[in-house]
Structure 1
Amino acid sequence: MTLIGRTRARGVETLSLDAPERRNALSAALLAELAGALTDAGRDDGVRAVVLTHTGNTFSAGADLRDPPAPEALTGLLRQLVELPKPVVARVTGHVRAGGLGLLGACDIAAASDTATFAFTEVRIGVAPAVISLPLLPRADPRALARHYLTGERFDAAEAVRTGLLTAHGEDVDAVLAPVLDGLRWAAPEALAETKRLLTARVLETFDRDAAGLTALSARLFSSAIAREGMTAFLERRDPEWVV
């Protein structure tokens, strides 16, 4: 079963998260297939840029709670997105939750339709947005991020732009991205790669400094009794025991 769709047009490789029946949750299998597709795109001289998008009404619901990936796998994928020598552009027309926001943070440019919604839901199931903080904390507004991390509230595309999670939003996300992709096609590949290195240097410093600790934190929290209660409550569609 293929979990990542691949198409190409005028040097732009589009990779689509394609598990809509699971709301494109980040399973071990999906992460592995996406990592392989990114490796192929990075090595292919015919690829000038990568668009990361989705099928269905959800970009990604975050970690697959029935089959969560190892924290190391998510850490590795996020770093791969940041280090890829081609620009990566996120195209969102649906909902983004938890780990899905880490994917947006690791992309170089991100745009969404006005109907998209966002939420850091980790605290509501008893964990923390640990690994996804590696690309997000250097790029997003710290005060806005504090509110959304701590409350798990849902917010819209305009707030996501203000927070720094998105580059732009609009009624028609393809119209928003058309000039972006045309601009990338005009740019020299070597210049794009070097410019991306300039832009991601601070993010990679965060990976070098904090990846081991945040990966260990994520593993500890996901294996805790609190997380087991939170994930069970979510799957059973009830409030966890700590709600007052």
Structure 2
Amino acid sequence: MTDIEPFVRAIYHRGITTLTLDSPDNRNALSVRLVRELTDALTRCGKDGDVRAVVLTHTGNTFCAGADLRHPPHPRELVKLLRQILTLRKPVVARVTGHVRAGGLGLLGACDIAVASAEATFAFTEVRIGVAPAVISLPLLPRTDPRALARYYLTGEEFGPSEAARIGLLTAAGSDVDEVLEPVLDGLRRASPQGLKETKQLLTAKVLETFYEDAGRMSRLSARLFESDEADEGMTAFRERRDPQWVL
């Protein structure tokens, strides 16, 4: 027995397994442990013949704050997680009702469908701590508007759900996320397992090409940047809630 509470909780209902990120102390940041638990949970969903689709959601006001700066996974592990979402033989649907930052946006990019409430906010904050959105670009660059992505990558600006839907980061947004989600889940329950599997493979083929071509290069870039002096200053400033030295 163990008294350790899981960081990822799973609930099954009528063919849908909901995986809930539940690491409130670090705003569901991508720690070594959370990535491992999510990877394991997705593996179980892939093997379960009763699971038609997966919903990925969260507790608290943050879907995912990006990489855990204290206990970050190796970039290869993040690549593995994003590839697993894309290659899972069942659709994965993101349900967002809070903030999404940095690496958390990679999760949205890898999901087949992503819906959000009006309270959701989004920002690629990597540039502000001295790194770049390297690994998460693997699913994002093929699926989102390149001009908009250039702006938000380079500035780290926050934007809302309407803009996120416009640029292709979200499928849909609304004041009540579950109203938006309901017809999606109904459609998935009406679809055949074979139809879903084969159709998902059609949709993800081009995205997965970028993994085969660029995953190693992006992993090395991410590792190099996180080990740099500039990133050390950026992460220290973030923890100390001050501007880094380069801010003008």
| TM-score normalised by L of structure 2 | 0.98
Q: Residue 32 of structure 1 aligns with which residue? A: 36
Q: Residue 48 of structure 2 aligns with which residue? A: 44
User: In the alignment, residue 184 of structure 2 is paired with which amino acid?
Assistant: V
Q: Residue 68 of structure 2 aligns with which residue? A: 64
Per-residue CA shift, 1:27-54, capped at 9, x if unaligned? 0000000000000000100000000000
Task: Write out aligned runs for 1:95-134 (5 A).
Answer: 95-134=99-138
Per-residue CA shift, 1:75-115, capped at 9, x if unaligned? 00000000000000000000000000000000000000011
Q: Residue 18 of structure 2 aligns with which residue? A: 14
- Which of the residues 225, 234, 240 maps onto 2:238? 234
Alpha-carbon shift at residue 67 of structure 1 (Å): 0.8
Could you list the runs of 4 or more consecutive aligned residues of structure 1 that deviate by over 6 angstroms after TM superposition?
Answer: none
Alpha-carbon shift at residue 21 of structure 1 (Å): 1.8
Distance in 2, matches of 1:73 and 1:141, equals 26
- Which of the residues 127, 147, 150 maps onto 1:146? 150
Per-residue CA shift, 1:105-144, capped at 9, x if unaligned? 0000000001100000000000000000000000000000
Distance in 1, matches of 2:237 and 2:209, equals 37
Q: State the secondary structure of the residue aligned to 1:155.
A: coil
Distance in 2, matches of 1:22 and 1:226, equals 23
Distance in 1, matches of 2:163 and 2:129, equals 23
Distance in 2, matches of 1:226 and 1:140, equals 28
Distance in 1, matches of 2:166 and 2:225, equals 30
* Structure 1: runs of 5 or more not aligned: none
Distance in 2, matches of 1:60 and 1:68, equals 13
Q: State the secondary structure of the residue aligned to 2:41.
A: helix
Distance in 1, matches of 2:234 and 2:98, equals 24
* Structure 2: runs of 5 or more not aligned: none
Q: Percent identity?
A: 70
Matched, 1:191 2:203: no
